[in-house]
Structure 1
């Protein structure tokens, strides 16, 4: 295959038809708007925004739109991470959305996924912008918790990893996140379990074991306290538009 020759022919054809791709600045401006967390951008026609002149990636119209949705979600994810959104949260949401794109059977369904993606990431960034900046110790504590999510973590272990007294670190967490250190550990474990509940058929017992809960009943109590529903109810009823509130 002579790629250079094919490229020249395609460029010539596009010149004849006066077809040009969307400018890089216009495309990036869309991603920056989302990463800014400005809720005003959710008032427009999100489903049809920024699609003109996006290029042909497949001769199949539905497959072509799927490819573009995957690119869209991947780019939004990286702009939001650059803007300060937690990487693990961002990539997991991205994976979830892309799997939903893969399952779509119509362009209408895809349009709905685009709206959910833009809404979820914009809301998450809005909450991040509204919140207070976290201190060095709290940020590193959160990073340690996320990286050791499957361990039966304790406040003492996290504090020891940072070279701090557990009581001191717990007070910092309470001041900056609203959770004590131990409460935050459970909060993040429950949050992580949300992804597992919606993207797998793993039982609640196995999820609780994987995340290091003392027992399945302990996991269910913590989850209910966090979200007001049981894990089973969440698995049946969770909506992506509510993601950023978890």
Structure 2
């Protein structure tokens, strides 16, 4: 019997229908946090040992360690390609992937795979965090961006930033505009909209929940800001992009 025949028989069995795979919402959002360099979110995911939660993720091998290794390879591949899309140098991204996947050969316990997973995702996250901040802005503007990034779910004002940095609001406002080309408020809005896009694509949060999570003054204000930034409403964006397949860049031969 060939593999295709074996699959058709397996598919016909009643108990196959009882195996439900959870929606990939959490995984997609986690990959986004890694590629965005969000250390705190990734550390919390590792602390909760979400990688070991087998409910709804599918069984790829009857052996527990082998099954986890397969999921490790999938996670590494997805993170590698998303980090590559967001600016990580090609050779570095794939060398890291090869390094961590090859390390699996020497691991023979569930806890060992878990530890390697946590080390791998934190390594990618830290490198992406540094990459996203390795620009030519001054110390004050980099600190400003860091604060905005860490408090994106809150309502942030220029006064909050100036107090945090110990400079006047007028000075910080002029400096930010000079170095980035955007006003502080415009930059905050851009970052919030980017976060909203991820939530619309990879989560089941309602539009009003997303508006509240990102501290927009109201749902209507969020819809207005989103439409001005993207040209479509949040609902339309979700309809077009919800759980969309990864748009993996391909390297064309010269």
Question: How does the TM-score come out when normalised to structure 1?
Answer: 0.48
Structure having greater relative contact order (Cα 8 Å, sep ≥ 6)? 2
